[in-house]
Chains A and B, each alone.
Chain A
Amino acid sequence: MKKIISFIICISIALFFINSAMSQDVDIVLNSEGFTKHERPLVTFPHLKHEELILCSRCHHDYDEYRANMENDGGNCSDCHKATSGENPVLLMNAFHRQCKDCHKTLNRRDGKNLPVACGECHIKK
């Protein structure tokens, strides 16, 4: 019996670490290397909270030339979106802002939620 219990505990611990290795940290401070300088304070993004709500590929999208989401493992925003004009017409700052705000605005309007949309609700000055 003792062996079974210790086995279960070991498996649980192992699973706990595997789980955390596959997913991201709970909160991520967004500090993209694509920007040279940040005018506003960095945003702390609750990644885990969003991970539980929506598909990864919704944000980590991988659009083909017809803007269909191929749902492959998309990388970081700055892989395609550049701070100043690049091949992708959507600039890096707009990519970040739209990723958050477009969804939050829709949910606020449709479901009467109170998700952050104003500048300082994400760029919090301490």
Chain B
Amino acid sequence: MYEFLTGAGVWIAFVIFAGGLFVRVASLYGVSRQKDAVFYNHTNAFEAVKSIFYWLIPWGSIAARTQPVFSSMVYLFHVSLIIVPLFLSAHNVLLQEAFGVGLWSIPDSVADIMTALMLVAGVFLFIRRLVRPEVRILTEIRDYVLLVLTMLPFLTGLLASLNIGPYKTMVILHVLSGEILLILIPFTKLGHMILFFFTRAFIGFEMGGRRGARTW
């Protein structure tokens, strides 16, 4: 099981992840080209990048500043979500063994702390969806499921790292849940890892560039 998941499983997951994201972005772009034709004559790269930039930096947007606790949790969640898997020493050792090169690594203790903070933030976001009526009304079952699925590789990874519970089972669950998550990204709301940039770019040049509004 471990051998399959860390061998062929990784390839299958990454091919579906990258291929699926490409197809999704390409097809959405095709639809947009037809239906939003009216917007494409005034695209503005500066306004697009400006809007993306202000929404990426912490508390860069008005919306983030009006809800500081929520936006801090969102920021904590996403920063750990991106940094820990990419720069975890164990992941990079496996990459290095497979391809001869890996990325830089952060210390394992830092990765453990970031993962724990990410899980705390994830639980906060889950509870927020339950208790805030304006968010609850927008939330479907799949939103809860996706949030839990996103946290699962991090939870099992942390437990494996701290050697809590049956180690081999934990590692297998970790790799399996990570691969399921990668496969789901192109077909669900998790596609916002790429689509976020298109949405913000559009808001930037349409609302900011053409209508002169503040877009961050």
Contacts and interface: CB of A to CB of B under 8 A. Distances in A.
A67 interface: no
B90 A125 contact: no
B96 A94 contact: yes
A83 to B, nearest CB: 13
A108 interface: yes
Contacts of A93: 93
Interface string B105-117: 1011000000000
Contacts of B167: 118, 120-121
B43 interface: no
B2 A97 contact: no
Interface string B72-115: 00000000000000000110010011000000010110000000
Nearest to B91: A119
Contacts of A105: 3
Contact of B3 (A40, A109, A125): A109
B48 interface: no
Given A39-B107, A108-B3, A117-B2, A125 B97 contact: no
Contacts of B162: 125
A117 B90 CA distance: 13
A97 B105 CA distance: 18
Interface residues on A, range: 10 to 19
A34 to B, nearest CB: 16
B163 A40 contact: no
Interface in B53-76: none
Given A94-B97, A97-B97, A98-B97, A120 B3 contact: no
Contact of B89 (A39, A121, A125): A39
Main secondary structure of the interface of A (DSSP, over half): helix
A118 B171 contact: yes
Contacts of A98: 97
A118 B2 contact: yes
A76 B163 CA distance: 30
A108 to B, nearest CB: 6
B160 interface: yes
B168 interface: yes
A98, A105, A124, A125 pick with most chain B CB within 10 angstroms: A125
A94 B3 CA distance: 18
Nearest to B4: A109
Interface in A93-126: 93-94, 97-98, 105, 108-109, 117-121, 124-126
Interface in B98-144: 105, 107-108
Given A39-B89, A97-B93, A119-B171, 7 more contacts: A98-B97, A120-B160, A120-B161, A121-B167, A125-B161, A125-B163, A126-B163
23 contacts: A39-B89, A39-B105, A39-B107, A39-B108, A40-B108, A94-B97, A97-B97, A98-B97, A109-B3, A117-B2, A118-B2, A118-B167, A118-B168, A118-B171, A119-B171, A120-B160, A120-B161, A120-B171, A121-B168, A124-B163, A125-B161, A125-B162, A126-B163
Interface of B: 2-3, 89-90, 93, 96-97, 105, 107-108, 160-163, 167-168, 171
